[in-house]
Chains A and B, each alone.
Chain A
Amino acid sequence: MTATPPRPDRLHGPALTWLRMRAVARRHAYVLLRSPHRLFDVTLWPLVDVLLFGALATYVARGHPTAGGKAAGYLIAGIVLWHVVYQSQISVSTGLLEETWSRNLLNLMVTPLREVEYVGGVALFGMFKLALGVGVVAVGALVFYSFDVSTLGFGLVPIAGILLLVGWTIALFVIGVVLRFGAGAEALAWGVMFVVMPLSGIFYPIDSLPTALQPVAQALPTTHAFAALRGLVDGHALAWSQLGIAAAETAVLAVLACWFLIRMLRTFRRRGLITRFT
């Protein structure tokens, strides 16, 4: 008779949380590497965006050299920074969708993995996708239109930080909706960005929007972050007041998103909605 081997040692505390987050991030890295069509979101789509808005910027600048040049800067800088929001949002929300597509959600939900560890893991991997996607847009802007986004200076860093947090916050709303309404709601992962984009005035001041929509735009942190970005494009110092408003609105939105997600998870468990995904 052979002796029973000792039980394997398990990690605890912060080391365990970090181990789980890395495991989730690694799982999604394998998925991306082994399904090249998923690279579309982080390579082709950013490239199409920079070509489209760069061409528009070139056309506008050609017709009106002074004002057009400024508008061209808004367009290209706007699309580069927009991809911070887009990539951070998409990577987290499609992280959960990946589990539903591969019917892996039940297997994950019965493990000790905490919700915050899962979101942390997909966000960790999302940082890699973000770097790739934004890198493609920034290099595309430089190669095709000689627009070097780094000339806007260090003011870009806090703006990008706010936009990153906004992207993650929107993803929490999307995950909550998918848990509550099923995989049929997955179109929202992409669709919601097409609502946020025009309302955020990423290429223009929001007084260009219809009057009725301007209060909605004011309530979005992205609006103030992109206003600060346009200030940098105009050669002004970073507008900390705009950034402060953006940070405060992001904090409020993040609290609302967490509250919403917790409620949706409770409903998910109470109504036995896991069976939609098995």
Chain B
Amino acid sequence: MPSMDVVLEARGLVKDYRRSRAVDGLDLVVHAGERVALLGPNGAGKTTTLLMLLGVVTPDEGSVHVGGRPIAGDRSHAAEEVGFAAGYLPLAERLRVREYLRLYGNLYGLAHPDAAIDAGLARFRVEHLADAMGTELSSGQRTLVGIVRATLHRPRLLVLDEPTASLDPDVSRRVREGLRAICDEDDTALVVTSHDMAEVERLCERVVFISGGRVVADGTPTEVADRFGHSDLEGVFLHLADDRTDARPPTTAEPGP
């Protein structure tokens, strides 16, 4: 059950790119232990929002606090409380999995990260990959190792961009179970983006739909589906995608993976 501790607080986020407004006054508050999905069609502003939450993109307006620390003025300390993985990013080349994880463990301040590495690999059942080169892994294995990397330091906030994209059902289940366990054991807040609505319904207890850079729905999957008159989140997604297509031309200026 989520606690009342606020882990992530984003207020009034605005981001303009050359040809369009990518994020338009977005507010998002996430509590410890919450599992939140950030959803929306391509170009809705999800990636820009995530990058602002992580401090990699500076908002034109608004503020982001992680664990009470402002990401703008105290990025390094705020980032100590955050873990991030993206399904589309490869592992660094020419490193074995254990070397790669040690590197990131050290960057997060763990002088002796081996115990955390072993526990993380065991949690996602990929201990046998410890000595493999990063380039030898399948996309599913890379995703699992990426999540192990993001959780080595047991962050208060875990941000995952498309973690289950193109994964088989077995690996997706391992990701889901591992994430649930992490959130439950450490009260870690999870913010995840995904286009797999069924996966989201299984993993997250709260969904935030973004369209045109604004939050258009926020609640449990059932509440949000009911509000739009659909039986599931996929119906809501398609509803918003149709609205967006009717309302305005697709955005071309927003960056994204």
A274 CB within 8 Å of chain B: yes
| Mask of A1-16 contacts with B, CB within 8 angstroms, 1/0 | 0001101111110011
Inter-chain CA distance A23–B84, complex, in Å, is: 19
Is there contact, CB below 8 Å, between A11 and B109?
A: yes
> Does residue B198 face the partner (Cβ distance < 8 Å to A)?
no
Q: What 0/1 pattern do residues 67 to 81 of B give for CB contact below 8 A with A?
A: 000000001110110
Q: How far is the CA of A136 from the CA of B59 in the complex (A)?
A: 49
Q: A8-B113, A110-B55 are in contact. Are A30 and B107 (CB under 8 A)?
A: no
Contact-residue size bin, chain B (C-beta under 8 Å from the other chain): 35 or more
Chain A positions 78 through 108: 1 when the CB is less than 8 Å from some CB of chain B, otherwise 0: 0000000000000000000001011110111
Contact between chains at B56 and A11 (CB < 8 Å): no
- Tell me if B51 counts as interface (CB < 8 A to partner A): yes
Asked if A35 is an interface residue, CB under 8 A from chain B, the answer is: yes
Asked if A20 and B94 make an inter-chain contact with CB atoms under 8 angstroms apart, the answer reads no
**One of B15, B113, B256 near A275 (C-beta < 8 A):** B256
Interface positions of B from 78 to 105, Cβ below 8 Å from A: 79-80, 82, 84, 86, 88-90, 92-95, 99, 102-104
Residues of A within 8 A of B84 (CB): 107, 110
Given known pairs A8-B115, A8-B153, A112-B107, the reply for A278 and B58 (CB within 8 Å) is no
Task: Evaluate contact between B99 and A20: CB separation under 8 angstroms.
Answer: no
Question: Interface readout for B103-145 with A: 1 if CB under 8 Å, 0 if not?
Answer: 1101111110101100100000000000000000000000000
Q: Is the CB of A109 within 8 A of B106?
A: no
Do B99 and A30 touch (CB < 8 A)?
yes
> Could you tell me if A274 and B92 are in contact, using CB atoms closer than 8 angstroms?
no
Per-residue interface assignment for chain A, residues 111 to 140, with 1 indicating a CB less than 8 Å from any chain B CB and 0 otherwise: 111100000000000000000000000000
Residues of A within 8 A of B75 (CB): 112
Q: Are A103 and B90 in contact (CB under 8 A)?
A: yes
How far is it, in angstroms, between the C-alpha of A63 and the C-alpha of B6 when the chains are bound? Answer: 80
Given A27-B95, A111-B104, is A278 in contact with B89 using a C-beta cutoff of 8 Å?
yes
B31-58 interface (Cβ within 8 A of A): 47-48, 51, 54-58
Chain B neighbourhood of A70, CB < 8 A? none
Measured CB to CB, the nearest residue on chain B to A271 is B17
- Determine whether the beta carbon of B79 is less than 8 Å from that of A112: yes
> Interface size (A, Cβ < 8 Å)?
44
> A8–B54 Cα gap in the complex (Å)?
22
Q: Which residue of A lies closest to B79 (CB)?
A: A112
Q: Count the A-B residue pairs with Cβ separation under 8 angstroms: how many? A: 123
Contact across chains for A19 and B109 when beta carbons are under 8 A apart: yes
Closest CB of chain B to A256's CB: distance in Å? 23
Which residue of the partner chain A has the closest CB to B92? A104
In the complex, what residues of A have CB within 8 A of residue B255's CB? 272, 274-276
Asked if residues A269 and B58 are in contact (CB atoms below 8 Å), the reply is: yes
- Given contacts A11-B111, A102-B92, A275-B256, whether A269 and B57 have CB atoms under 8 Å apart is yes
- Candidates B54, B80, B106, B149; contact of A23 at CB < 8 Å: B106
A31 at the interface (CB under 8 A from B): yes
In contact, B257 and A10 (Cβ under 8 angstroms): no
* B154 touching A112, Cβ below 8 Å: no
User: Do the beta carbons of B108 and A112 come within 8 Å of each other?
Assistant: yes
B56 close to A109 (CB less than 8 A): yes
Give the contacts of A233-278 with B (CB-CB under 8 A): 266, 269-272, 274-276, 278
B186 on the A face (CB < 8 A): yes
B89 pairs with A103, CB closer than 8 A: yes
Contact of A10 among B51, B109, B256 (CB under 8 A): B109
Structural contact, A27 and B103, CB atoms closer than 8 A: yes
Known: A11-B111, A34-B94. A110 touches B79 (CB 8 A): yes
Bound together, the chains give a CA A29 to CA B48 distance in angstroms of 34
Flag whether B246 is at the interface (Cβ < 8 A): no
A5-B185 Cα distance, complex, nearest whole Å: 9
Measuring CB to CB, which residues of chain B are less than 8 angstroms from any residue of chain A?
A: 15, 17, 47-48, 51, 54-58, 60, 75-77, 79-80, 82, 84, 86, 88-90, 92-95, 99, 102-104, 106-111, 113, 115-116, 119, 149, 153-154, 159, 185-186, 255-257
A-B contacts besides A110-B79, A278-B89, 4 pairs, CB < 8 Å? A8-B115, A275-B51, A278-B86, A278-B257
* A-B residue pairs in contact (CB < 8 Å), sample of 7: A7-B186, A26-B103, A103-B89, A109-B56, A111-B79, A276-B255, A278-B86
Q: Which 7 A-B residue pairings sit nearest by Cβ, starting from the closest?
A: A275-B255, A10-B109, A23-B106, A34-B94, A112-B79, A102-B93, A269-B58
A residues in contact (CB < 8 Å) with B: 4-5, 7-12, 15-16, 19-20, 22-24, 26-27, 30-31, 34-35, 99, 101-104, 106-114, 266, 269-272, 274-276, 278
